[in-house]
Chain A
């Protein structure tokens, strides 16, 4: 099962092999949960969103065709669910992304080495910066920088043009760069 590519696993799932789908979940659970967590903040909510993403893919798997990377389909769905969750949170007056920021800005443990402490510091600064981006900037930055998706794939996942990906990503990076500069560290 490990040596099959994603679309071969999809084909096996379509043929009724649920173990093939389990392999797809194993392959993508970490990045999808991570993406959702960076998008919405709460770890528990991120797991719920990731779970729902996989279930939706399974529900539609009979109609999936290899027109794009499987990960594009999956992250496209996860992204829609995350944006919906953010919208709901905003309506209810919650700011879940802020809660992630607060979790991660705790000071590094004193027992850690300098190098680890510095990495932790950078991670906290980045998390803080990412959490303050708009959802549109946050999602595009995560898909490109953390999931390594190409512009074409991002355009498909976000239902926009490649030119939009180029300009929005440039703005997202610039916003994050400015945030880090504002925070005053020497990370850049």
Chain B
């Protein structure tokens, strides 16, 4: 027997996930040891599938729904609204860029002379918050010209970071394909949608914070 044994590949093979199933099948026809191992894994799988699943107690559903009744009514969040229209993770990257830019601006503070980092921050924040004119860094947190009070960098950062953390919890829905390509694939309309939704989200959070 010159051929390499395939025991380590058998698990993937029985699941239809082996990269070269034809080679494994050929080997199993000529190697008694691997064939026996294969048969054992198949039996193991059959036994596991056959294990009984006990019926839940009737009170379980009642108990869960009683807890659910105490929870606030769910609604489609800001992220969900855009994630249906565009690749969620790509938008996540945009949010991350905004946060990164904000972090940079917050860490280094508003200087007397403009620096490249702050240009980036302001350029990124500006369309999101949609101020009518380029504003000084201190005013970037304002949501509109009518807003009497500005929101500090800390508050802005906290809001965006909170949104980002919530999304991270659900990160397993995101594709792991090429992020850069997907980010570049966002068209003007999608970017505009992101700006509007983020702006709305920030406005809501700001209002809630003020009311609170």
A26 an interface residue at 8 Å Cβ cutoff? yes
Q: Which residues of chain B come closer than 8 Å to A50, judged between CB atoms?
A: 60
Given A51-B64, A62-B80, A188-B43, does the pair A34, B71 have CB atoms closer than 8 Å?
Answer: no
B47–A33 touching, CB < 8 Å: no
B8 an interface residue at 8 Å Cβ cutoff? yes
Given A14-B75, A146-B48, A180-B44, does the pair A65, B53 have CB atoms closer than 8 Å?
Answer: no
* B72, closest chain A residue (CB): A59
The segment from B9-17, B151-159, B180-188 that touches chain A is B9-17
Q: Tell me the bound Cα distance from A47 to B54 in angstroms.
A: 12
Q: Which residues of chain A come closer than 8 Å to B80, judged between CB atoms?
A: 14, 62-65
* B67, closest chain A residue (CB): A55
- Contact mask A32-52 → B, CB, 8 Å, 1/0? 011001000000000100110
Q: Tell me the bound Cα distance from A61 to B44 in angstroms.
A: 37
B108 an interface residue at 8 Å Cβ cutoff? no
B63 an interface residue at 8 Å Cβ cutoff? yes
A119 an interface residue at 8 Å Cβ cutoff? yes
Q: Which residues of chain B come closer than 8 Å to A180, judged between CB atoms?
A: 44
Given A34-B54, A58-B74, A67-B174, does the pair A176, B68 have CB atoms closer than 8 Å?
Answer: no
Contact of B77 among A62, A151, A176, A188 (CB under 8 A): A62
Q: Which residues of chain A come closer than 8 Å to B12, judged between CB atoms?
A: 166, 169-170
B88–A13 touching, CB < 8 Å: no
A72 an interface residue at 8 Å Cβ cutoff? yes
A156–B173 touching, CB < 8 Å: yes
- Contact mask B34-46 → A, CB, 8 Å, 1/0? 0000001101110
A30–B170 touching, CB < 8 Å: no
A146–B51 touching, CB < 8 Å: yes
A99 an interface residue at 8 Å Cβ cutoff? no
B interface residue numbers (CB < 8 A to A): 8-12, 15, 17, 40-41, 43-45, 47-57, 60-61, 63-65, 67-69, 71, 73-77, 79-80, 83-84, 88, 166-167, 169-175
Q: Closest 7 interchain pairs by CB?
A: A67-B173, A170-B11, A145-B48, A156-B172, A188-B40, A62-B74, A63-B77
Given contacts A30-B53, A30-B56, 19 further A-B contacts (CB under 8 A): A16-B73, A21-B68, A25-B60, A29-B64, A33-B54, A47-B57, A54-B68, A60-B170, A61-B74, A62-B74, A73-B172, A73-B173, A156-B172, A170-B9, A173-B44, A174-B11, A177-B40, A177-B41, A187-B43
